[in-house]
Amino acid sequence: MFREAVAIVRRRVIMAERVGVWVGGLTEAEATTPSKAGSSSPAEISRQQDLAALNGLAALGLTPGAMARFGRLLEERQKPDLALLHAAVLEEESGA
């Protein structure tokens, strides 16, 4: 069901890793200097690739933040609906 989404995110993660390794092999000057005027530096491209990979992982719920949000949603679903409880109490009081 999620095969296509997982495949896309996998490609993003692999690309981010490859670009990160490439940028890691550059000097600081090479990493921070764009190859052409008006283009992004290798370090900026790496940052963008990392962000795309993290966004994809988050969309699948595979980051710590996404897991925490998912946990909070589950917790909210398990809380009793106070309006329903109040209505039940009122109904019980009126029937007694």
Q: Which tens digit of pLDDT belongs to each residue from 72-82?
A: 888 877 776 77
pTM of the model: 0.70
Going by C-alpha positions, the residue among 32, 52, 50 that lies closest to residue 42 is 32
Look at residue 67 and tell me if it is in a domain: no
Q: Establish if 40 belongs to a structural domain.
A: yes
48 shares a domain with 94: no
Q: How far apart are CA 30 and CA 23, in angstroms?
A: 8
Same domain, 23 and 55: yes
Do 57 and 92 fall within a single domain? no
Residue 10 and residue 53 in one domain: yes
In a domain, 17, yes or no: yes
Domains contained in the chain, number:
2
Domain, as residue range, for 11: 3-62
Whether residues 29 and 58 fall in one domain: yes
Question: CA distances (Å), 1 to each of 10, 21, 26, 52, in order?
Answer: 15, 32, 40, 22
Give the model confidence (pLDDT) of 44-65 as tens digits. Answer: 999 999 999 999 999 998 899 8
